[in-house]
Amino acid sequence: MRANTIALAGNPNTGKSTLFNTLTGLKQHTGNWPGKTVIHAEGSFEYNGEQYVLVDLPGTYSLFSNSTDEEVARDYIIFDQPDATIVVLDATSLERNLNLALQVLEMTNNVIICINLIDEAEKKGIRIDEKKLSRELGIPVVKISARNKKGIDQLLATLSDLVNGKIMTTPYRMTYSQEIEDAITKIESKLKVYFQDTYPSRWLALRLLDGDEELILKLQHHNNNRQLEVKTHDVPISVKS
């Protein structure tokens, strides 16, 4: 049986790694991301008879590839395409944290927002209406305290429902000015010819409009590699790249 891969994203100091340790216990190993001096931590756990592999992405404020950390986190979500991404937010500074959440929502449909440090927030008199947030963002929102192991069961139940297709998400996507929206539509239709539905076309179109040349090179490289891996009856066939 195939394990579900789950990515953990979030700002620095939101308790992402605390949640990672809570969920995986000692079943984890760390190393570096290939070719990068960025720590890669991966762990596994079982829930309701299903296997999960959890990948702790580097803590970042954004996913626009300003730094190696951001590049690693972005590439994992776009190219490795985990079955679900959990975005960990700090309940005490939601405004800052939602920036990253909105970026992840533009990249994938399979997202759970996990509001951590909820007991810290309550101490400060902050109350969060997670149902309203969930309605507005179109994805499940769970409140937890990773340190005190509160809300973990609900997070796992939601995760299981999401990867088994019991929850349909409708992630909130920013609507840009008419000019940009027209450009997105044009680029998206062309992208579909090249990549079918391999990558999130709306997000790609936005990155191309932003002039992200590095990403274009990476896409070419990635697409070529994928084609070269095609085999028939174990006989590799070379595909023109």
**Gap between the Cα atoms of 58 and 41, Å rounded:** 9
Minimum CB distance to other proteins smaller for 140 or for 207: 207
User: Footprint of other proteins on residues 135-154 (CB under 8 A)?
Assistant: none
Instruction: Name which position in 66, 148, 227, 241 contacts other proteins (CB under 8 A).
Output: 66
Interacting residue with other proteins among 93, 109, 198, 223 (CB under 8 A): 93
* R_g (Cα) of the chain, nearest Å: 19
* H-helix or E-strand spanning residue 236: strand 235-236
Of the candidate residues 21, 28, 44, 62, the single one contacting other proteins (CB under 8 A) = 62
Instruction: Give the shortest CB-102-to-other proteins separation in angstroms.
Output: 12
Q: How far is the CB of 224 from other proteins (least distance, A)?
A: 27
123 touches other proteins (CB under 8 A): no
For other proteins, give the closer residue by CB, 53 or 204.
204
Tell me the C-alpha distance between 19 and 3, whole Å. Answer: 19
Stretch binding other proteins (CB under 8 A), from 21-29, 73-81, 87-95, 181-189: 87-95
Q: Rank residues 66 and 224 by Cβ distance to other proteins and give the closer one.
A: 66
Candidate ranges 50-58, 91-99, 167-175, 214-222; the one touching other proteins (CB under 8 A): 91-99
Q: Which stretch binds other proteins (CB under 8 A): 73-81, 92-100, 140-148, 217-225?
A: 92-100
Sign of CA dihedral 135, 139, 145, 151: positive
For 23, phi then psi, to 5°, come to: -80, -40
Gap between the Cα atoms of 234 and 176, Å rounded: 47
State the minimum distance, in angstroms, from the CB of residue 99 to other proteins.
Answer: 6
What is d(CA 23, CA 29) in angstroms, rounded to the nearest whole number? Answer: 14
Choices 57-65, 71-79, 144-152, 201-209; region in contact with other proteins by CB under 8 A = 57-65
Select 67 or 154, whichever has its Cβ closest to other proteins.
67
User: How is residue 118 written in tokens?
Assistant: 């909820």
CA gap 88, 101 in Å, rounded: 8
Distance CA 216, CA 195 (A): 12
Which one among 1, 95, 175, 231 touches other proteins, defined by CB under 8 A? 95
Nearer to other proteins, 83 or 90 (CB): 90
For 123-160, give one letter per residue: b (16+ CB within 10 A) or e.
eeeeebebeebbeebebbbbbbbbeeeebbeebbebbb
Residue 92 binds other proteins, judged by CB under 8 A? yes
C-alpha to C-alpha distance for 116 and 104, rounded to whole angstroms: 17
Residues of this chain that interact with other proteins (CB under 8 A) are 61-62, 64, 66, 92-93, 95-96, 99
